[in-house]
Amino acid sequence: MEQYEVIVIGRGAAGLSSALVFGRSKRKMLVLDANAARNSVTHASHGYLTRDGGVKPESFKSIGLSEIKAYPTVSYVETKVTALEKEEGVFTVQTDNGKSYASRRVVVAAGMREELPAIIGLQNVYGSTVFPCPYCDGWERKDEPLAIFGNEPWLIHYVKLIYNWSQDLIVFTNGAAALSEEDRKDLRGHGVELVEEAIEELISTEGRLQQVVMVSGEAYHRSGGFIMDTGESQAFSLDHFGVDYTDMGGVATEEGAKTAVKGLYVIGDTKNVFSGLLKATSEGYEVAAEINHEMAMEDWERGGVS
Ligand SMILES: Cc1cc2nc3c(=O)[nH]c(=O)nc-3n(C[C@H](O)[C@H](O)[C@H](O)COP(=O)(O)OP(=O)(O)OC[C@H]3O[C@@H](n4cnc5c(N)ncnc54)[C@H](O)[C@@H]3O)c2cc1C
């Protein structure tokens, strides 16, 4: 079985960033990735300083991959991790290429998977003109006629936020809205229409939303929108380690990226559910510096004169 000082699961912004610091710290480390990131649907990521013009997620990752590969102690294998176990202080990682890898430290940066609500036509516009995060894509959709899809308890808060980018909003709850009278009045007062009827389908052309059509046949012109609930769950389950989860569904940590399991760390969307590229990158940097610091102290002790 191949042995490493650190294994990182996931080569998104978080995993790649940690690998860069590990490589620059001369650590023998391995990155494993299934090539199944949830942001692969989007054509351009925004809001990352120096890449704000819009960088394709795959291009962001291939630049990162070529940078980490420059370090001789860094290895990368494209494969899905199927199992992660720990015995006597050592983690064993199994992958669907039939191999096993061992390490005393594992960083999980596997992100989230999504299961979009079953609305006909949503898949065609998600990541093109309908998005989950206004900070990522609000500027590109500013002042447009937008749809807001969702019926979560924090709907009113989400609407107030999106209103920052466009005041031409229609909220589609796809069924009876879970809103108080006060919230409904608040929406009316801000000129935000609320449509509670079930959605029949979304009509689009090459990813550009055109109309939201209701079961009654009534159609609303919208050129884009935001969706609250994308059916997120952990891409790689750590349930068997007895980890706790935050209310949002991220893996709870004790401090920084440390979980209650010694040697097991979580960063990026695995920890935050939605980090954004910059935070994910920063957490990768931080965890690698923390782990390397710990290892450097241990190496010093081992090599010390008694
Ligand atoms: C539609 C959309 C648009 C977005 N737009 C923006 C934007 O414009 N700006 C911005 O800052 N943020 C944006 N985000 C958010 C951003 O993409 C994420 O917050 C960020 O990618 C999180 O990085 P990460 O490294 O934690 O996870 P990810 O980038 O999701 O990477 C996780 C990696 O883990 C791998 N993986 C998962 N399971 C396994 C397994 N079992 N074995 C091996 N590998 C595995 C996946 O293949 C993936 O490569 C967007 C998100 C979405 C969904």
Residues in contact with ligand 1 (CB, 6 Å cut-off): 9-15, 32-39, 41-42, 45-48, 80-81, 109-111, 127, 131-133, 136-137, 235-236, 268-269, 274-278, 280
For residues 208 and 213, give the distance between their C-alpha atoms in angstroms, rounded to a whole number.
15
CA of 13 to the centre of ligand 1 (A): 7
pLDDT > 60? residue 220: yes
Q: Which of 227, 243, 270 corresponds to the end of one domain? A: 227
**pTM recorded for the entire structure:** 0.95
- Crossing angle of helices 181-189 and 155-162, in 10° steps, is 10
Question: Which of 227, 253, 271 is a domain's end point?
Answer: 227
pLDDT score for 255: 82
Q: What is the mean pLDDT of residues 240-246?
A: 96
To the nearest whole number, what is the mean pLDDT of the chain?
A: 96
Give residues with Cβ within 8 angstroms of 17, minimum separation 6. Answer: 64, 280, 281, 282, 283, 284, 285, 288
| 179 and 148 part of one domain | yes
Summarize the confidence of residues 99-111 as an average pLDDT: 98
Check pLDDT > 90 for residue 97. Answer: yes
Does the pLDDT of residue 149 top 60, yes or no? yes
CATH, residue 252: 3.50.50.60
Q: How far is the CA of 235 from the centre of ligand 1 (A)?
A: 10
Confidence at 304, pLDDT banded by 50, 70, 90: low
Tokens of 86: 């720990």
Output DSSP code: residue 41.
Answer: G
| Same domain, residue pair 146 and 192 | yes
Same domain, 26 and 99: yes
- The pLDDT tens digits of the residues spanning 4-15 come to 999 999 999 999
Ligand 1 center to 305 CA (angstroms): 46
Bridge partners, residue 112, by sequence: 234
Taking the CA atoms of 17, 19, 23 and 26 in sequence, report the sign of the dihedral they define.
positive
pLDDT at 107: 98
Tell the residue nearest (CA) to atom 8 of ligand 1. 45
Give yes or no: residues 15 and 107 share one domain.
Answer: yes
Q: Which of the four pLDDT bands, split at 50, 70 and 90, describes residue 210?
A: very high
Calculate how far, in angstroms, residue 17's C-alpha sits from the geometric centre of ligand 1: 13
Q: Is the pLDDT of residue 44 over 60?
A: yes
Please check whether residues 37 and 100 belong to one and the same domain.
yes
| Section 208-215 average pLDDT | 98
* Domain span at 218: 122-227
**One domain, residues 145 and 203:** yes
Ligand 1, atom 22, residue with closest C-alpha:
269
Contact call for residues 193 and 177 (beta carbons, < 8 A): no
Same domain, 77 and 222: no
Report pLDDT for 64.
97
260 shares its domain with 286: yes
Domain match, 204 and 170 both:
yes
Number of domains present in the structure of the chain: 2
Average confidence (pLDDT) over 156-185: 97
Q: What is the mean pLDDT of residues 79-92?
A: 98
* 29 CA to centre of ligand 1 in angstroms: 21
Q: Which residue has the higher pLDDT, 254 or 290?
A: 290
Q: What is the average pLDDT across 176-200?
A: 97
In this structure, which residue's CA is closest to atom 26 in ligand 1? 268
Give which of 284, 289, 288, 260 is closest to 272, Cα–Cα. Answer: 284
Question: Which pLDDT belongs to residue 305?
Answer: 59
Mean pLDDT of 273-297: 97
- Does residue 237 carry a pLDDT above 60? yes
Looking at ligand 1, which residue's alpha carbon is closest to its atom 28? 12
223 and 147 housed in the same domain: yes
Of the chain, the percentage scoring pLDDT greater than 90 comes to 96
pLDDT tier at 119 (50, 70, 90 boundaries)? very high
- Residue 256's pLDDT band, with cuts at 50, 70 and 90, is confident
Could you tell me if 94 and 136 lie in one domain? no
Query: Do 28 and 50 fall into the same domain?
Result: yes
- Residue found by looking up tokens 């009827």 in the block: 197
- Burial label for 132, CB within 10 Å (0-12, 13-18, 19+), is buried
> Which of 201, 227, 253 is a domain's end point?
227
Confidence at residue 286, expressed as pLDDT on a 0 to 100 scale? 98
